[in-house]
A and B are shown apart, each in its own frame.
Chain A
Amino acid sequence: MSCSVHDVVRLEERGVATAAVGTQPFVDEALEQARVLGMPDYRMVLIEHPVQVATTEELHRRAAAAFDAVVSRLTVTSRGS
């Protein structure tokens, strides 16, 4: 999770809009990591945990459920989002 935040912060700094996706339990780690890297307003898209034991169909369902949030990260300026 922390490494993903590093990646997206670096991409954002270079003008690439991003949506980073992770699972719920890492919400505070993601916020903390973004904060220490100087992007306290960065917000990940969070889906249900766990993922490792889910079926493919279930993963597709969670992706569909998260899609609107992904789009809003990529296309609207953060309101603190």
Chain B
Amino acid sequence: MTLLFAHADCPTSVLALRRLGAARADGAALVCVAQETPEAAARLARRTGVAFTVLAEDSPYPVSRAHGVDAVPTAVVLERGEEIERVVGWDAAAYERLLGVQLPGEPRSKPGCGARWMYDYGARGGLDELEDMFERGWSDGLPVIPPTRERVEAMLGGRDRTDSLGFIPPGHGEATLERVAACAVLAGCKPAYFPLVVAAVEAALDPAFNAHGIAVTTQPAGPIVIVNGPARERVGLNSGMGVLGPGARANMTLGRALRLVLTLTGGALPGALDRSTLGNPAKLGLCLAENEEASPWEPLHVERGFAPDASTVTVFAADAPLSVSDHRSLTADELAYVLATAAGATWSPFWWPMDYQSLFVVCPEHAALFRAAGWRKARLREAIFEHAVRPARELNRGETTPYVKAADPEDRVHKWTDADRILIVVAGGEAGRFSAVFGPCGGMGETAITKEVRWTT
């Protein structure tokens, strides 16, 4: 007889049970030992449609341990009570041989997962720990990963935990590497992401960034992270479809880690020292990787003076992105005009000119149009700057500038004080003609800061 050890949180176990269930594997020869409560085992059986017996074995999993099962699914073949063979993971050929059934479908093999006790943290119910995190105030409103000493050590990767990146306004909490690592754990980062988290915090603490002003303003903006260079592939960042989120763990957790450092260690808690009237969804954290491969231009970090093979993190205080749809422009100039017009409404429709930066995220299809027209990035920047212009009389209403009020009504007023306020990156999926523009956090000074990622401890 064969004991098939499995549990419901292992996708390979579920796959194995589904395949075996569909093949109507012989119940007399095969018994599933589910590392679950009886209720959860019953749910697993129903979900996978198995016809053979499923037994439930709850913590401390004596039978699993007695058979030395530390991975699932594991099939232990017994003859007269003695083990004669075991199959670890999904192996269709082995199961076909053992059970005399056909098991069609892909994949034919797949690695398994750790046994159930590797997911148990001692507390029955597991969620108690997560509630504790909320109660301590270590959350941004979503569940966080408890920063145990082991997880923080793993995140530090050998770095000196007492090294300090500086004091974070407005609360002046010190950003020791240990605290930064704790925030990275809370956010759900893998240790491989940590060098980028460190670089992002360094960028945010650069005095030119003005983390203080950005943290306490009533404006909606929050720091977003743009990654360039080999780091993108090294840590598995998304620069393509859905780049602005959600979906990719590296993107979501990296952006979130920076925000947790500023919020928890820095003390800029929403509703307390963070006075943002509305906030914005991107303030949960936003990290995008530039799609350098789809771009006809030099990437952001090269423009800003870094080597192409350097990995960099650029932090920019941005409000929520404005989507720019354009499925009809046939010329580069037309498309530039559309981008410029859309950008005109961002941050403030009439406070022109603004001396703050805007970030354009140009999608690959739009970038291709500029490539086909032979437009370099500088030309696009100039075109956007030139097209975002209106007569003062149109701007002289509501929240407008002293400049507009004093100008002749027919004076042409630009959106920005200078074209160099315009930042451009390429990102997004191959198909679809939607670009985006992010407004600034106004009045803060220089808001985009780029730092190189240091991989060594």
**A contacts, CB < 8 Å to B:** 1-3, 6, 26, 28-29, 32-33, 36-37
Shortest CB distance B211–A (Å) = 12
Bound CA span A29–B172, Å = 15
Shortest CB distance B452–A (Å) = 30
Bound CA span A56–B273, Å = 30
- Tell yes or no: B275 within 8 A of A by CB: yes
Task: Report whether B272 and A29 are in contact in the complex, using a CB–CB cutoff of 8 Å.
Answer: yes
- With CB as the reference atom, state the residue of chain A lying closest to B277: A25
Bound CA span A29–B271, Å = 9
- With CB as the reference atom, state the residue of chain B lying closest to A2: B216
- Tell yes or no: B259 within 8 A of A by CB: no
Bound CA span A26–B316, Å = 26
**B contacts, CB < 8 Å to A:** 170-172, 212-213, 215-216, 267, 272-273, 275
18 A–B pairs (Cβ distance < 8 Å), ordered by A: A2-B170, A2-B212, A2-B215, A2-B216, A3-B212, A3-B213, A6-B170, A26-B275, A28-B272, A29-B216, A29-B273, A29-B275, A32-B272, A33-B170, A33-B273, A36-B170, A36-B171, A37-B172
Number of A-B contacts defined by CB within 8 Å: 29
Bound CA span A37–B215, Å = 16
Task: Report whether B275 and A36 are in contact in the complex, using a CB–CB cutoff of 8 Å.
Answer: no
* Chain A hits for B273, CB < 8 A: 2, 29, 32-33, 36
Bound CA span A33–B212, Å = 12
* Chain A hits for B213, CB < 8 A: 3
* Chain A hits for B172, CB < 8 A: 36-37
Task: Report whether A1 and B170 are in contact in the complex, using a CB–CB cutoff of 8 Å.
Answer: no
- Looking at chain A's contact residues, is the secondary structure mostly helix, strand, loop, or mixed? helix
- With CB as the reference atom, state the residue of chain A lying closest to B271: A28
Shortest CB distance A77–B (Å) = 26
Bound CA span A29–B273, Å = 5
* Chain A hits for B170, CB < 8 A: 2, 6, 33, 36
* Chain B hits for A33, CB < 8 A: 170, 273
Bound CA span A37–B273, Å = 12
* Chain B hits for A1, CB < 8 A: 216, 275
- With CB as the reference atom, state the residue of chain B lying closest to A31: B272
Known A1-B216, A3-B213, A32-B272; further 7 A-B contacts with Cβ < 8 A:
A2-B170, A2-B215, A2-B216, A6-B170, A28-B272, A36-B170, A37-B172
* Shortest beta-carbon contacts, A-B, top 8: A2-B216, A36-B171, A2-B170, A32-B272, A32-B273, A29-B275, A36-B267, A29-B273
Bound CA span A18–B214, Å = 25
* Chain B hits for A3, CB < 8 A: 212-213, 216
Bound CA span A2–B272, Å = 11
Shortest CB distance B217–A (Å) = 9
Bound CA span A51–B279, Å = 22
Bound CA span A32–B172, Å = 13
- With CB as the reference atom, state the residue of chain A lying closest to B268: A2
* Chain B hits for A28, CB < 8 A: 272
Point out which of A2, A26, A28, A37 has the most chain B C-beta atoms below 10 A from its C-beta: A2
* Chain A hits for B216, CB < 8 A: 1-3, 29
Bound CA span A3–B212, Å = 8
Bound CA span A71–B208, Å = 36
* Chain A hits for B275, CB < 8 A: 1-2, 26, 29
Shortest CB distance A44–B (Å) = 14
* Chain B hits for A2, CB < 8 A: 170, 212, 215-216, 273, 275
Bound CA span A1–B268, Å = 13
* Chain B hits for A29, CB < 8 A: 216, 272-273, 275
Bound CA span A6–B267, Å = 14
Bound CA span A70–B90, Å = 76
Shortest CB distance A23–B (Å) = 11
Bound CA span A2–B273, Å = 8
Point out which of B170, B172, B213 has the most chain A C-beta atoms below 10 A from its C-beta: B170
Bound CA span A1–B170, Å = 11
Bound CA span A1–B216, Å = 8
Bound CA span A75–B216, Å = 30
Bound CA span A27–B172, Å = 20
* Chain B hits for A6, CB < 8 A: 170, 212
- With CB as the reference atom, state the residue of chain B lying closest to A35: B171
* Chain A hits for B171, CB < 8 A: 36
Shortest CB distance A74–B (Å) = 25
* Chain A hits for B272, CB < 8 A: 28-29, 32
Shortest CB distance A71–B (Å) = 28
